[in-house]
Structure 1
Amino acid sequence: MRQAERIRYLLLAAQREGNRQLAAALRAIGLTPEQSEVLRILGDHGDLSIKGVGLMLVCDSGTNPSRLVERLVQAGLVERNPDPADRRKMQLALTAEGRLKEQQTRSIEDAMYAQIDLLPGGAELAATLELIVSGRPAGEALRRRIG
């Protein structure tokens, strides 16, 4: 197996394993990784439009942002409010229960990140991964998200 092929499959395997672990932890609080990502985006960036949330989503669930947000609205975690600047548009905001779930998500992620922090060569790996995703849709979503 070529090194490039090995790297490709290692990236895929690491992503899948990380997502499995995150999904299992989030299941305990009734969320999927995709739902938790929307809650984190709203928690980090405040009220946004569906388009604004969609531009920051990194998850690849095959679910469009509108459907994902609709499930969160139905669950009582997100609410739609008229945009003060344009009453025809809606802004998404966390409800009180949504803020609680966002904080629980943050704690779950922090525990996961503490494990990742123990791995050697983190800064070099992050720089390499940034090169891989730079200029690509998921890389651009991440760039918008972290500023």
Structure 2
Amino acid sequence: MSDQTFSLFRFPETLAVVRLAPGAEIPDWAESSSIFSITATAEETSLVCAGRSVPKKARHEKPFTAFSVDGPLDFGMTGVLVAVLTPLAEEAISVFTISTFDTDWILVRTADADRAEEAWRRSGHTVAPAVPA
């Protein structure tokens, strides 16, 4: 178990994780929110976007709630994800993670968001509502 503790921010938007074909164009319905992510590989293109406009026919999972680790985080830091994911794993809370240049984002199913906050607090982390930019 890590002794590191972090501050996390909870974002209010409902998010979706969408799977598109490899090389797919980003659809017009893919709306930005607190986090908008496009990850493309030879096998697929994945989006994290606002969940409100994702068509039912699109292959997706939702609803998710996003938490970010207070950053920026130095690239030389180690154990950040271990520190924030271990309490969730111990509570059997599934995650979808994304890293950006400045920080790490943890998406949990919205139904598990309050449990995730409780698990983090018990582990010494702090969680606060995100302040809109």
TM-score band, normalised by shorter chain: under 0.3
Structure of greater relative contact order (alpha carbons < 8 Å, 6+ residues apart): 2
Q: Which has the larger share of helix? A: 1
TM-score by length of 1: 0.25
TM-score by length of 2: 0.27
Larger radius of gyration: 1
Q: Which has the larger share of strand? A: 2
